Amino acid sequence: MAACTLYSTQCFNTISSTPSSKTHLGFHQRQVVFYTTTNNKRSSNKRSGNNNTGRYVITCAAGDTVVIGLAADSGCGKSTFMRRLTSVFGGAAEPPKGGNPDSNTLISDTTTVICLDDYHSLDRTGRKEKGVTALDPRANDFDLMYEQVKALKEGIAVEKPIYNHVTGLLDPPEVIKPPKILVIEGLHPMFDARVRDLLDFSIYLDISNEVKFAWKIQRDMAERGHSLESIKASIEARKPDFDAYIDPQKQYADAVIEVLPTQLIPDDNEGKILRVRLIQKEGIKHFSPVYLFDDGSTISWIPCGRKLTCSYPGIKFFYGPDTYFGNEVSVVEMDGQFDRLDELIYVESHLSNLSTKFYGEVTQQMLKHADFPGSNNGTGLFQTIVGLKIRDLYEQIITSKAETPVGAAKA
């Protein structure tokens, strides 16, 4: 992949590519220099206060960035998932060097993760004045999100705004170069149809209310000022907007990780033991779902016994076909948790289509990050598996593009 960029950073306009760029870039993969003097009225300049400046972009790239979308509510494990995902790709993901210390971006050799909060059109004060939550589409600039994700996908660097979660303000933008894999994570990666169409794969983390409550207690109870009441009030006050704008996105996801209270203990709502379901869409290009024992069958499996030690309440797996929002899916489910993480190898050896590069890779990844939340249950297991599936998807896409360069350029 080739990438070269020139920008005059006095100005903060969005990069928009000229229509001719793709043809040049895709076909010849030679250096192409083109200028765009953008004066895009709805671009980021209105926020940074740097108006009326033109912008010169010279860029050339092959434009084979694979774009992954990850949707979930705040406090539902996006960060942990990202750490597992980037670990599968190899190399640690770090904030941009020498940049804004409150940047939300993570960069590794292959992957760049951007946080969609950076596309807030209203800052904290603005939302307060208008009575709008961050979940509300009116607080987000989907035009800019679309333009920039599209540009990155085409191999063009962008200057993305930074939403500062500490101050609640929009900071001066940072330059994002087109990576091999771009992950867009946040509240709305599948909300806007244009952005959705740019995604090569999408994931939704669906945390049930009981578990969300339990997780937020764990996260916030130590914080001064918080109480069970405040945690509950916050979840309830945000729920109407969550139900209206965030939750419906799961119908578009290629993979959904559903986190529910266990069924192994009757009437348990402590949220400590979890039943986690990996819902995988069928018929997605470059993605073939993971299965247990026999592809397409319905299987219930309790691995505890002679080969795997399980203390109360044990572990239960399920696998089978289902429909999800009218789509054909296959579901792998794990209820309960592992006593000893290295015993996971026994479970791993019974799962098929994992897209591992060697025997035991899932277990190795889980052991490597045993300190991450959810490493002993289905959340960690399925996050790791989805990471492997995304690596596989990426490799397939790159291979297919290499085989048909002309077709890829047109695509």
Partner 1 sequence: MTTISTMTLSSPTRVIAKGVQTPLKTQTIKCSPIFKLNKRWPGLIGSGRSSSIQPVRAAPDKISEKVEKSIKDAEETCTDNPTSNECAAAWDEVEELSAAASHARDKKKDSDPLENYCKDNPETDECRTYDN
Asked whether position 128 contacts partner 1 by CB under 8 A, the answer is yes
Interface with partner 1, residue 20, by CB under 8 A? no
Which of 46, 99, 318, 320 is the binder for partner 1 (CB under 8 A)?
A: 99
CB of 10 to partner 1, least distance (A): 5
Please give the structure tokens belonging to residue 134.
């961050």
CB closer to partner 1 out of 97 and 307: 97
If the CB atoms of residues 58 and 341 are measured against partner 1, the closer one turns out to be 58
Closer CB to partner 1, 171 or 339, in the complex = 171
DSSP 325-382: TTEEEEEEEEEEB-SSGGGHHHHHTTEE----SSTTHHHHHHHHTTTSTTTTBHHHHH
What is the C-alpha separation between 112 and 153, in angstroms, rounded? Answer: 12
Choose one: 91-99, 145-153, 334-342, 384-392; the region binding partner 1 (CB under 8 A): 91-99
The correct pick among 123, 171, 339, 343 for binding partner 1 (CB under 8 A) is 171
123 binds partner 1 (CB under 8 A): no
Shortest approach of partner 1 to residue 35 CB, angstroms? Answer: 8
Distance of CA 175 to the CA centre of its chain: 20
Cβ 240 to partner 1 shortest distance, Å: 7
- CB crowding 229-264: b at 16 or more within 10 Å, else e: eebeeebeebeebbeebbbebbebbbbbbbbbbbeb
Provide the sign of the torsion angle of the four alpha carbons 243, 245, 246, 249, taken in this order.
positive
**Whole-number minimum distance, CB 274 to partner 1, in Å?**
19
Binding residues vs partner 1 (CB under 8 A)? 1-10, 30-31, 33, 54, 56, 58, 60, 74-75, 79, 94, 97-102, 124, 127-128, 130-135, 165-168, 171-172, 174, 216, 219-220, 223-226, 230, 233-234, 236-238, 240-241
